[in-house]
Structure 1
């Protein structure tokens, strides 16, 4: 029996001033799946993610999370429904420690000022602090607990943001170029973390240009070009698809 659909993208189109950034994109992501969305620059990948998280409203179509419509909701509402997104540039609290960053994420349903008051009141020995410490230790950041987040390397900032996302226990994790600008060692370390998420049964959608990352993680792949889906299938099917190779000429070779 097929696993339930977590994310349903229902014939979504998005037009900007007469330009079709997305055209009739239809896609289902099932529970526990790691699904990669690839394509050349300008294919509509980030636009699609922005539609899913409420940053943009589609011109046509709709997006549903486990049967609940997301279209028309604000980003914080979509986050509270169980969608976590990791952006191309890590979004962390640079002036807080690493463990405080994760505690803030765990208290994400609170407003920012109230979260800060909770941090100052309970500190990192609270139940929240202990859970944050364990999450960081499990994912290789245990040695940085009390370091300021802003002082971390780019790779460690990305890993911190990933921990901040996963401790929210999302129904769906959306990753927008999670290894952009990383050296190969940092990329491989990030792949290792994402494999742990995958093994835990988390549902993941990843936009990525690095085909090493894509083929290391993806169960299925959707290829966009010119705002349209040109191919969809298993990794081996995508590798041999002539439409995909043609779409990547001058960009990435799959």
Structure 2
């Protein structure tokens, strides 16, 4: 069994008296793809936000690779090796595709976002060559000089994945990466994530409503309902768990 990379210890989060998370305990193992599923309002995105420092837990702590994340700012957590891909692609639409990737590389290296950094680097230099190769590896080699805002939704998602991976993270957190996609783009995204995993061995945590995506990718699954963990296990265990079927999978008709 691989060692734990992300340890979530007794995390609670309360908003104005509402318990968004209660007694959440979860270990993500190094090198696995771990899906977090559950109905709307289950606390999935809140948990992700706690992990990346967007919100602070009311109680409990989060450790990554043995280091305390609780109390750190998002960019500090990113520098430790945690990259997050949001539900809506977070790209710079008025920059070219290659400029987006170069920006991600420079932002991570310098510890802060500064647009003027781009002027110091030429696409023919080391950063540009690395960016071009990363884009080619994920099928965007023909779009280097296209404006990022003009890409299709699927290609925007692919670009954001390249931007995240360009920071050399140890863990990739994906918040509904196929939301709003047609089935063809969804299947392409599944293939891309499988390829990333095969090439890098990176640890992936995925929040996703599409059970086709979840069961295609996940090594293990955690199910949240009402802010609490109601089940954990490998996909076959989750599919047959009566509590999960009642709380969620029955609605999804999996």
Relative to the length of structure 1, the TM-score reads: 0.96
* Residue of structure 2 equivalent to 1:218: 218
The match for 2:179 is 180
Change in Cα spacing, 1:43 to 1:174, as seen in structure 2 (3 Å) is same
Q: 2:150 corresponds to which residue?
A: 151
How far apart are 1:193 and its partner, in Å? Answer: 1.1
Other-structure match for 1:208: 208
- Counterpart for residue 25 of structure 2: 26
Counterpart position of 2:113: 112
Distance in 1, matches of 2:61 and 2:34, equals 19
| Superposition TM-score, scaled by structure 2 size | 0.96
Task: Check whether the contact 2:239–2:249 (CA below 8 A) recurs between aligned residues.
Answer: no
**Displacement of 1:4 after TM fit?**
1.8
Q: Separation in 2 of the partners of 1:253 and 1:227?
A: 22
Quick check: 1:92–1:101 contact (8 Å CA) kept in 2? yes
Distance in 2 (alpha carbons) for counterparts of 1:37 and 1:250: 17
> Does the 8 Å contact 2:4/2:27 carry over to 1?
yes
Question: Which region of structure 1 is more displaced relative to structure 2, 205-214 or 191-200?
Answer: 191-200
| Cα pair 1:40 1:252 within 8 Å, conserved | no
Contact 2:33 2:205 in 1 (8 A): yes
The count of residues paired between Structure 1 and Structure 2 equals 251
Distance change (3 Å), C-alpha of 1:80 and 1:40: same
Contact 2:13 2:58 in 1 (8 A): yes
Distance 2:18 2:245 in 1: 24
**Residues 1:98 and 2:119 are matched in the alignment:** no
- CA distance, structure 1, for counterparts of residue 250 and residue 40 of structure 2: 10
Uncovered stretches (5+) of structure 1, i.e. residues with no partner: none
- How far apart are residue 80 of structure 1 and its match? 0.9
Q: Which runs of 5+ in 2 are unaligned?
A: none
CA RMSD of aligned residues (A): 1.2
Question: How many angstroms does 1:192 deviate by?
Answer: 1.0
Do the aligned residues in 2 keep the contact of 1:154 with 1:182 (CA within 8 Å)?
Answer: yes
The aligned counterpart of 2:45 is: 46
